[in-house]
Amino acid sequence: MTTETQKPQRVDGTLTSIGQKKPRIDGTLKLTGGADYAADRNLPNQTWGYPVSSTIAKGRLVALELDEALAMPGVLDIFHHDNFDKLSRSPNDFAAANKVGESRLPFEDNEIYYHGQYIALVVADTFEHARAAARKVRAQYEKSDDQLTDILALDSGQGDLPGEDVPGDASSRGDADSAFESASIQLDQRYSIAHENHSVMEMHASVAQWENDMLTVYESSQGVVFQRNALAKIFGIPQEKVTVISHFIGSGFGSKLFMWPHAVMTSVAARRLGRPVKTVVPRELEYLNTGYRPTSLQRVRLGADDSGKLLSIHHDGCNETSPAGLHDDTVSGATPSMYDCDNVAVTNRLVTVNKGAPTSMRAPGEASGAFALETALDELAVKLEMDPLELRKKNFAEKDPAADLPWSSNHLKECWDNAAQRFGWNKRNPTPGAMKDGDEIIGYGMATQSWEAMRQHCSARFGFRDDGTLLVACGTQDIGTGTYTIVAQTASEMTGVPIEMIDVRLGDSSLPSGPLSGGSFATATVLPAVSAAMKEALAELKTLATAEGGVFENVDQDSITLRDGRLVSGDNSIEIAELLRQNRIGLVDGEASTKPGDEQDQYSFRSFGAVFVEVRWDPGISRLRVARVCSTIDIGRAINPLTATNQVEGSIVMGMGMGLFEQIEYDAHGYPYNNSLADYVVPVNADMPQIEVELLDYPDYLRNEFGARGVGEVGLTGVAAAISNAVYNATGKRIRDMPISIEKLLAS
């Protein structure tokens, strides 16, 4: 094992696999039903869990009446506070890779913190029996009526935001207060984004099995290593005794990064019954206890001179969090890096509400923060009577002003120009309502996009097999984004072995530890580890080849290169598989761990983009539609432009959801009103605008030898702002609270 921290070498020249548009290598498996998603798993002797959850938002569970349910056919047991195993909470530490979604253990006490909180788990011989019995469990509550589910109602509309300040989130440079006071142009506005839910296609599920004292959990997880570590802490057993498997994931968007209580209660039930237990979280509960993007309230103050130069930026954020699990979305966190401005101050606050724990949702923090900042800039441009794109260009940050470091690679200016040109921004009439087409009024809006380009530590295994195939293994996941495919492309690029002959293994915590599939860091993190592991294996092969009696006996190892699946030295070459067969070896493999080096302290890593939106507003019938979205993004090198573009397209659609539709609503009693796929409105096919995405191709070799940053999230940032800015251009109405619903358009 080696640890590679030195400056990465470039991989460039002619690429044959990296940078090619490759369809997903797991596509056929998915289309033919061969992909084993967590809930598809059925183990011998398996039983089924079905949860019972609280129907009040706050109070105490006084009694559970179980007799009727226990007498139902097929029921094996019912788990709840009084008979549950005594466990320890996970330390819930990101750095130690054991962070969980809800820190509270299931059934830990009889307090009710939120509607949808688990109060019992019924286990029966079939799903139908478990569900029927779960409905016969009767709960008695002592209800408190002082529940809080709406942080927007707490806002006075002026001055400080509600909630507790998080001191660690605050940062500042210069003197923002005085600069704002003395600025000739001032803007002070509040913005909000409603509680959004991930609404994943594949439902959350755990299938847990104990064999001897080893626990295996099949889970739909974006982080098998995190879940393995957390379960080990909770059960007080060594990590080696826990395996978490998640071969395929039908989307997660952050809701599957950190473990939720259903996995713990399912594992306990499996241990107690001595049989495997499968629990699929019911759709309606997914909206309540597997995380969500918290409602956020923001205040942005901008000070500028008459030329549009930013003199001050204040960005205060506030998001809701839960007694069941703390989540700080840090919505203002990225703001200090976004524009060149000497005086900047940001803060964040938290309000605890009676809802389940919020969690990361695609571009957490930044998607919300960018909405506020980029809308505020549009408002500033209106005050200045300046083109919003020009305003941004005027304040371009040549280096990262927050860290005072150069960018590793920044092509934002080209993104702005490229997208503006493709979109036809120069045809924009800045006067609201001036562009018309029949019944419709057209509006144009734009925003800057951005997401930090992180890289984490990672281990991987790489093997050459005697049948000519390769094995590449890493304990990360493919959440549908194409990780299997880009790992295979990279292995193919390095070895010349065709992609069809590469066996990629992911989604298993017993493999060398890989990163979460989140934060857009999986690509930049995993590929260097794969490369380092390949080099380890290659060194072994060279040793074999140069051994006594070998093809390359007496040849200098450094002269041997790897090409088209062969070891080559001068005119001599041997197929690697042949070399292995000659030596009667089935597999030569290597393992390596990699992590970012000191470039981390020398540069700032960030992806940027620009998004332009055309909306159409038909005032006669109050109909608003997004007609066209044009985005240009710089993500370093796209390993697979097909899947990378697809990530941006999907992000745009999600941004439309944030801007136009998505909102979980709680009524005055703390009752979640629309926690179903039918009632929670997301964009559907008929809403799809014309989407045109272009990825710039500037490899960022400071990030890694492949020049790849990540792509999962940057495309979402700015979309809601560009929509609301376009809506202003069409209607003259400035909607600062997302989503832009019909009633808000009618009211303003």
Partner 1 sequence: MRAFELESVEAIDQAVSHRRVHDGEAFIAGGTTLLDLVKLDVMQPEKVVDVSRLPLKRIETLEDGRLKVGALVSNTELAKHEIVMRDYPVLSEALLSGASTGLRNMASTGGNVMQRTRCPYFRDPAMPCNKREPGTGCSAIEGINRNHAVLGTSEHCIATHPSDMCVGMVAAGATLVLEGPDGQREVAFEDYHLLPGDSPEREHDLKPGELITHVILDAPRSGGQHYLKLRDRASYEFALASCAAIVNLDGDNISEVRLALGGVATKPWRADAAEAVLKGQPATQENFEQAAEAAFNDAVAYSHNGFKITLGKQAIVRALRDATAAARG
Residues of this chain that interact with partner 1 (CB under 8 A) are 55, 73-74, 126, 128-129, 131-132, 135, 620-623, 625, 660-661, 665, 667-669, 671, 673-674, 676, 678-679, 681-687, 741-743, 746-747
Distance, in Å, from the CA atom of 87 to the CA atom of 702, rounded to the nearest integer, reads 44
For partner 1, give the closer residue by CB, 71 or 746: 746
For partner 1, give the closer residue by CB, 301 or 616: 616
Distance, in Å, from the CA atom of 178 to the CA atom of 176, rounded to the nearest integer, reads 6
Residue 663 Cβ, how far from partner 1 at the closest point, in Å? 10
Residues 6+ apart with CB under 8 A from 405: 399, 601, 602, 603, 604
Residue 699 Cβ, how far from partner 1 at the closest point, in Å? 39
The tally of CA atoms less than 13 A away on the side-chain side of residue 250 is 17
Where on the phi/psi map is residue 492: left (φ > 0), alpha (ψ -120 to 50), or beta? alpha
Question: Are the beta carbons of 338 and 450 closer than 8 angstroms?
Answer: yes
For partner 1, give the closer residue by CB, 196 or 378: 196
Burial tier of 36 (Cβ tally within 10 Å: 0-12, 13-18, 19+):
middle
Q: Hey, what amino acid is at 131? A: R
For partner 1, give the closer residue by CB, 458 or 624: 624
Question: Are the beta carbons of 296 and 368 closer than 8 angstroms?
Answer: yes
Contacts for 547-555 with beta carbons within 8 Å, 24 or more apart? 550/579, 551/579
Distance, in Å, from the CA atom of 217 to the CA atom of 365, rounded to the nearest integer, reads 30
Residue 665 Cβ, how far from partner 1 at the closest point, in Å? 6
CA torsion sign for 284, 287, 289, 290 is positive
Residues 6+ apart with CB under 8 A from 740: 624, 659, 660, 723, 724, 727
Distance, in Å, from the CA atom of 77 to the CA atom of 266, rounded to the nearest integer, reads 12
For partner 1, give the closer residue by CB, 35 or 627: 627
Task: Supply the residues annotated as catalytic.
Answer: 713
Distance, in Å, from the CA atom of 17 to the CA atom of 11, rounded to the nearest integer, reads 12
For partner 1, give the closer residue by CB, 431 or 685: 685
The SS3 call for residue 537 is helix
For partner 1, give the closer residue by CB, 88 or 622: 622
Residue 135 Cβ, how far from partner 1 at the closest point, in Å? 6
Residue 746 Cβ, how far from partner 1 at the closest point, in Å? 5
Q: How many residues does the chain have?
A: 748
Residue 55 Cβ, how far from partner 1 at the closest point, in Å? 4
Q: Hey, what amino acid is at 81? A: H
Partners of residue 502 on adjacent β-strands = 470
For partner 1, give the closer residue by CB, 340 or 667: 667
Distance, in Å, from the CA atom of 359 to the CA atom of 100, rounded to the nearest integer, reads 10
Q: Token pair 């700080």 is at which residue? A: 328
Residue 154 Cβ, how far from partner 1 at the closest point, in Å? 19
Q: Are strands 458-465 and 587-594 parallel, antiparallel or unpaired?
A: antiparallel
For partner 1, give the closer residue by CB, 150 or 591: 150
Distance, in Å, from the CA atom of 488 to the CA atom of 500, rounded to the nearest integer, reads 8
Q: Hey, what amino acid is at 512? A: P
Residue 300 Cβ, how far from partner 1 at the closest point, in Å? 27
Six-digit token string for 93: 């530490």
Residue 73 Cβ, how far from partner 1 at the closest point, in Å? 7
